[in-house]
Structures are given as structure tokens and as C-alpha cells.
């Protein structure tokens, strides 16, 4: 927490608590859904496909007695390219820096190989950091299955607590948040009480567009896409103008994104526009363009251009 500046301290209770919760978990366990549920609004895109979360995203939960900084981390996996290496590094750094690690697991299925890989990674990096298991999707299993899966996941790694939740329905979420708050160290408030994320509206707009691409395409397309907002203007109180470029790695991918007669790009635009209008509370005029940026996931310079904070190597 030493790198954060205290920005708001007036009238805090003497036992005010604050800290970073690193949220880990393999794809499709409900990690982003859980964070969105806790915050009461969407800050993280949701998809059942791997590598949906590419960067650390901070969700800020503030109540009178404390402030929790939820760090939604990219999924831990074996990287196949520079983007994958960047994602794993970000996730591992978050685990090292956290006050508490929250590992979200899917109780509706038995432990997977990916879960065992995450357990090994957490064990290697956690040190003395407290580990809490959030067994999600309890609405999908009966009580007998819950008990068996709870035991199976508990055997993967020594942990300090396991909480049963349903991110979709909200069951157990209040109890989970209360437990996390109780176990954070005493500390100041780092963000204003009404702030729920550190990311800009431009970033959120790009992520919403990328989410629609992920949900409407398959095979290699979701992993090969990057979205850049090249213009974002609030033209009036009732209208927001957004222009975005969708980058892909090959000409064939560009054709898929555009679709026959432009049907796919129109669908993506309509779905993204509707969600952004709801989030922003204004009408949205959205323009989407598609460009080829060959092998951008393997080129650190291109990744930096697209906003990934990759440090430059020393000469």
C-alpha cells in the first residue's frame, strides 16, 4: 500500500480498514461477475472465454468503516506470446502486493488442472499473505455436492477461510465482503467515497466493445482483437460521441469482424452502443473501424502503442 497516496481522511473512524484484495481465478468461474456484484455496477467485462481480463482493473468498494481495493487480475496460464507473458506478470505482481488473496472457484465442477496450476502459483508467491477461497455458483449444486467440492478445493492449498457465494444471485456476497473487511489492516481511505474504479470512461468504452466481440465471435478472433478509442467527446448533456478502432492480426480476421454485408460490425456496434448508453446515461453515437495490425500480440512496441504498460528493456 506504500505506493498509494491518501486522498481522503476526514471523519474516519479510528479503526478504519483498507487494503488490496487480489482476485484470482481461472476463466468462467465468475471472478468479474463477483466484483461487479460487490461494487453494484459493471467495471469488468464478463465472458466465459479465456483471457477476457487482460490488465489489472481496480474496483473500489467504500463504506464508512473501510475501503477495499479489489484488483481483478488477468487469468494465470501458460503464456504463448508476449501478451500472455504480460498478463501473467501482471497477475503475479498483484498476488505479491496484495493484503489478501481472494481465489474465486467454481463449486459446480470438480477441481480442474488450471485450478491446480493456480494453487501452485499462489503457494509460490503468497508468502505470509492471507488466502480466502470464494466458492462460487452455489446456486447450481445441492448441499451434498457443495460439501464434497468444498473439501476437494480446500485440499488444493492451505487457506485461511472458505466462503460459499453465488455472484449471479448475490447469496453470501455480503458475508464475504464483511469477512474481507474485518481482516484488512487498519489504514486510511485512498480514493474518494464515490469512486468505484481508477479506469477512464475511454478504457471502459473500449472494454465494452471488446466484450461484444468476444461474445459474438469464436476460434482465434477474441484473442487477436484489441480496441483503441481514438475519439471520445461529450457533445452535449444528452449525447456522447465515441470513435473506436478494432485491431486484428490478419486480413481474414478483419473480414470476420466486418461480416457479410457488414452485418457483424453492425451487430457489435448496436450491442455496444446500447450498453454504453445505459452506463453513461446519454445517447451514444458510436463509430467502429477495423484495421489489421499484424502480430501485435508478439510485438512489445505495438503492445505499448495499444496501452499495455510493458517496461522497455535496458540497453
Q: pLDDT tens per residue, the chain (315 residues)?
A: 444 555 555 578 899 999 999 999 887 888 888 998 999 877 755 545 444 454 567 889 999 999 999 988 766 556 555 666 666 667 777 788 899 999 999 999 999 998 998 999 999 989 899 999 999 999 999 999 999 999 999 999 999 999 999 999 999 999 999 999 999 999 999 988 888 887 678 888 898 998 899 889 987 787 888 899 999 998 998 999 999 999 999 999 999 999 999 999 999 999 999 999 988 889 999 999 999 999 888 878 877 777 766 666 554
How much is the pLDDT for 83? 65
Cα separation, 122 vs 82, whole angstroms: 22
Together in a domain, 43 and 148: yes
Domain CATH for 255: 3.30.300.20
- Could you give the count of Cα atoms lying within 13 Å of 122 in the half-sphere of its Cβ? 28
How many residues in total does the chain contain?
315
Could you tell me the strand order of the sheet in which 66-72 lies?
57-63, 66-72, 17-24, 100-106, 130-136, 161-164
Residues spanned by the domain of 287: 201-305
Together in a domain, 131 and 72: yes
Estimate to the nearest angstrom the gap between the alpha carbon of 226 and the chain centroid.
Answer: 16
Together in a domain, 222 and 266: yes
How much is the pLDDT for 84? 61
Structural domain count, the chain: 2
Among 151, 183, 215, the domain boundary falls at 183
Among 148, 183, 218, the domain boundary falls at 183
> Which residues are bridge partners to 136 per DSSP?
106
Together in a domain, 159 and 220: no
- Could you give the count of Cα atoms lying within 13 Å of 202 in the half-sphere of its Cβ? 11
Together in a domain, 87 and 169: yes
Together in a domain, 207 and 289: yes
Q: In angstroms, what CA-CA distances link 205 with 42, 60, 86, 87, 212?
A: 12, 19, 22, 20, 11
Together in a domain, 168 and 258: no
| Domain-located, residue 286 | yes
3-state class of 311 per DSSP? Answer: coil
Together in a domain, 32 and 178: yes
Query: Please, what sign has the CA dihedral across residues 312, 313, 314, 315?
Result: negative
Beta strand spans in 73-214 (E) = 100-106, 130-136, 161-164
| Domain-located, residue 107 | yes
Domain CATH for 28: 3.40.50.300
How much is the pLDDT for 315? 44
Together in a domain, 177 and 249: no
Amino acid at each position: 500500500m506504500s505506493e498509494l497516496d491518501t486522498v481522503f481522511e476526514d471523519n474516519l473512524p479510528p479503526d478504519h480498514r483498507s487494503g488490496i484484495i487480489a482476485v484470482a481465478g481461472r476463466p468462467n468461474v465468475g471472478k468479474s461477475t463477483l466484483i461487479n456484484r460487490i461494487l453494484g455496477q459493471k467495471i469488468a467485462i464478463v465472458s466465459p472465454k479465456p483471457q477476457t481480463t487482460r490488465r489489472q482493473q481496480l474496483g473500489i468498494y467504500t463504506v464508512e468503516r473501510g475501503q477495499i481495493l479489489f484488483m481483478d487480475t488477468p487469468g494465470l496460464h501458460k503464456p504463448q506470446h508476449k501478451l500472455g507473458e504480460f498478463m501473467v506478470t501482471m497477475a503475479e505482481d498483484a498476488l505479491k502486493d496484495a493484503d489478501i488473496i481472494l481465489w474465486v472457484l467454481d463449486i459446480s465442477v470438480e477441481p480442474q488442472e488450471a485450478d491446480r496450476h493456480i494453487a501452485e502459483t499462489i503457494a509460490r508467491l503468497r508468502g505470509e499473505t492471507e488466502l480466502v477461497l470464494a466458492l462460487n455458483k452455489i446456486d447450481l449444486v445441492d448441499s451434498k455436492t457443495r460439501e464434497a467440492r468444498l473439501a476437494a478445493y480446500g485440499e488444493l492449498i492451505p487457506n485461511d477461510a472458505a466462503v460459499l457465494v453465488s455472484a449471479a444471485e448475490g447469496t453470501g456476497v455480503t458475508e464475504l465482503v464483511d469477512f474481507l473487511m474485518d481482516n484488512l489492516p487498519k489504514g486510511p481511505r485512498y480514493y474518494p467515497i464515490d469512486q468505484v474504479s481508477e479506469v477512464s470512461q475511454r478504457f471502459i468504452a473500449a472494454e465494452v466493445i471488446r466484450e461484444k466481440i468476444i461474445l459474438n465471435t469464436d476460434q482465434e478472433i477474441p484473442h487477436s482483437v484489441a480496441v483503441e478509442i481514438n475519439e471520445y467527446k461529450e457533445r452535449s448533456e444528452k449525447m456522447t460521441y465515441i470513435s473506436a478502432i478494432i485491431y486484428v492480426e490478419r486480413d481474414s480476421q478483419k473480414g470476420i469482424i466486418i461480416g457479410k454485408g457488414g452485418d457483424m460490425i453492425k451487430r457489435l456496434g448496436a450491442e455496444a452502443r446500447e450498453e454504453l448508453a445505459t452506463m453513461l446515461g446519454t445517447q451514444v453515437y458510436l463509430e467502429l473501424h477495423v484495421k489489421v495490425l499484424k502480430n501485435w500480440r508478439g510485438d512489445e512496441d505495438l503492445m505499448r502503442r495499444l496501452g499495455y504498460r510493458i517496461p522497455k528493456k535496458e540497453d
